[in-house]
Amino acid sequence: MNMRAKKITVLGDGGWGTALSILLAKKGVSVNLWSAFPENADDINKNKENTRFLSGFSLPENIIAMSDIREAVSNAATIVVAIPSHFLRRSIKKIKQVDFSGRLILSVVKGIENDTFKRPSEIIKQELGVPAVAVLSGPTIANEVARGLPAGCVIACEDTAAAKRLQAVFITERFRVYTSGDVAGVELGGALKNIIAIASGISDGLALGSNAKAALFTRGLVEMKRLAIFMGADPETLNGLSGIGDLVTTCISPYSRNRRVGQDIARGKRLPDILNNMEMVAEGVETSRSVYSISRKNGIDMPINEQVYEVLFKGKDPRATIMELMLRESKPE
Amino acid sequence: MNMRAKKITVLGDGGWGTALSILLAKKGVSVNLWSAFPENADDINKNKENTRFLSGFSLPENIIAMSDIREAVSNAATIVVAIPSHFLRRSIKKIKQVDFSGRLILSVVKGIENDTFKRPSEIIKQELGVPAVAVLSGPTIANEVARGLPAGCVIACEDTAAAKRLQAVFITERFRVYTSGDVAGVELGGALKNIIAIASGISDGLALGSNAKAALFTRGLVEMKRLAIFMGADPETLNGLSGIGDLVTTCISPYSRNRRVGQDIARGKRLPDILNNMEMVAEGVETSRSVYSISRKNGIDMPINEQVYEVLFKGKDPRATIMELMLRESKPE
């Protein structure tokens, strides 16, 4: 158990998984970084850089990349899950038989599963049969965290003691970690904000200015809270770092892939072309599809998501969507 | 009274007063645009452009500039007050004797008076002895509204019927107007967000990235709500267009003067030099001073404002302030 205590496994070598590995390694932790691509794992170990998903950062010696997921999790006290949401369930199934008792599992995945409408932590819990899965979310653009710029995030867990242990694992002078008991609220903020980021990108692509973007942001947050309430979260959580905070950074950062999807589509590109040209995943695209189904089925008023969905999947003219949003009946706020 | 009905006076020929005049004039309203500077009024009437405060926009024929404030208000059914907050009381005193019964007064001023801690609408009410003064606030960068880009705002008044009449006066297809009964909440959002915009500019000036800015934004909103509650407002109003919405646009827009003050100070300029080089007023500077007094006197925890105040007025090193904010004890959010 002592060897375990100092070892953390990060599942997923995307930008965020890699940035968190760097942060942990710099704190002296030994990190197993699992990649779904054997050639990537080799490349990382050879070059001490993740050239594919987070280039420009040299990885400390105590990060070891590996491509066998069972080997990667075998001797770690803490497992950080950083797998894109639509690969999550099939990846996690591969470690079903491993004994996770006494270990901490933390998800940093942002999305909602298409058909089941499950949050990532629910999928992990279900597949692994563990009692609790913590989540970490907030305004944490990977590139900036890897550069050591200041950032703050929230770790939520039903098990308060586990949240505090994880807080101690991740906190640094520049990476501030708050704790929360509202797993659903923290997780939904991270997933839903990607939809508003796409809308915000559409607005940018049409050069509609800061006022329009601010209005989308504000009304978008109202929509996010509506769905969060329906899904059992505390809407107040959406006012925190994992809601508003993450929404701000995604809407303004040049690194936001979801914002870029919206921008490209507003400039006339086709969705399949945009996604084919992206090395990484824009989670908001699939989340928008899930949210469209949930909101339709349950009569939840989510006009921004509805417009984003129709632009992404129904070929609707982006300019028409914005005008439709603006022309909704004026009423008390 | 019929002549009056079609006439609106805008007091103040700054960027926002001018943009609102253009919006109203394009709706067919005759506008008296009062300037405190006779040479500006002449210039506007001659060139049909406000070259000093909102250059690049030709003013419709039905805007008449004037520099006699009593003449300007004499025959208008609606008075829009768009005077910088620290000139407000002395300007309004000049029209004390005018009969305002049956007329609508709307303030778009954003600030808090230094010694009295009064909001602009309270100053106007007090000086003119009128029963109600409405306020308009929200994410409305003047330049964008003048260009006809989409925007949304909130008009609040204790008198619901007056709020609805004003909504009809201002609304267009691209300028959406919501109504509210929370005058204090709407007005405080507009004033307090300027302080966070300065902090956000400091963060930009130090190139700290989107994550830090998002954290400042989120924690800043918490502070704004704390003061709003103390001053009798509904904190929920701060989640709307006049709170979060205005905060977003001020933190991201290249036109935000308050953000620019923060940015310049972080890059080593001195406050008096920055302010001397600005044609227009950065309201957040004085608001920060007012808020510093209020929060100190009443034990309201406002760490971001405290740091902004110390950078602006006490020569504190901007980099030290950000680290101080980041290093505050980690706790439940």
| Contacts with A123 (C-beta within 8 Å, 6 or more apart), sequence order | A88, A89, A92, A113, A116
pTM of the model: 0.91
| Contacts with A276 (C-beta within 8 Å, 6 or more apart), sequence order | none
Q: Which residue in chain B has the smallest CA separation from A154?
A: B333
**Among A194-198, A315-319, B41-45, B250-254, which stretch is predicted with the lowest mean pLDDT?**
B250-254
Nearest to B214 among A239, A248, A326 (CB): A248
Between CA A306 and CA B321 the distance in angstroms is 42
Neighbours of A28 (CB within 10 A): 9
Give the pLDDT of residue A322. 78
B32 beta partners = B9, B64
Question: For each successive 10 residues of chain A (333 residues), what is the average pLDDT?
Answer: 70 97 96 97 97 96 96 94 94 93 94 92 96 96 95 96 96 94 97 95 93 93 96 96 94 86 94 85 91 96 95 93 73 66
Q: Which of residues 197-256 of B touch A (CB under 8 A)?
A: 208-215, 217-218, 221-222, 237, 239-241, 244-246, 248-249, 251-253, 255
Give the pLDDT of residue A48. 98
User: Which residues from A are below 8 Å from B228, CB to CB?
Assistant: none
Between CA B11 and CA B17 the distance in angstroms is 7
Looking at the complex, does the CB of residue A103 fall below 8 Å from at least one CB of chain B?
no
User: Which residues from A are below 8 Å from B141, CB to CB?
Assistant: 209-211
Give the pLDDT of residue A255. 80
Range list of H helices, chain A: 2-5, 15-26, 38-47, 69-74, 85-93, 120-128, 142-146, 160-170, 183-205, 209-230, 246-252, 257-266, 271-276, 283-298, 303-314, 318-326
Determine whether the interchain pair B333/A249 forms a contact, defined as Cβ–Cβ distance below 8 Å.
no
Between CA A271 and CA A275 the distance in angstroms is 6
Give the pLDDT of residue A225. 97
Q: Is A229 helix (H, G, I), strand (E, B) or coil?
A: helix
What proportion of chain B, given as a percentage, has pLDDT over 70?
97
Looking at the complex, does the CB of residue A136 fall below 8 Å from at least one CB of chain B?
no
Q: Which residue in chain B has the smallest CA separation from A217?
A: B245
Determine whether the interchain pair A151/B215 forms a contact, defined as Cβ–Cβ distance below 8 Å.
yes
Element (H, E) at A104: strand A104-107
pLDDT at B238 over 70: yes
Nearest to B249 among A151, A211, A323 (CB): A211
Looking at the complex, does the CB of residue B320 fall below 8 Å from at least one CB of chain A?
no
Looking at the complex, does the CB of residue A160 fall below 8 Å from at least one CB of chain B?
no
How close, in Å, is residue B89 to chain A by CA atoms? 29
Contact A284, A297 (CB under 8 A): no
| Contacts with A87 (C-beta within 8 Å, 6 or more apart), sequence order | A36
pLDDT at B251 over 90: no
Determine whether the interchain pair A245/B331 forms a contact, defined as Cβ–Cβ distance below 8 Å.
no
Contact A87, A125 (CB under 8 A): no
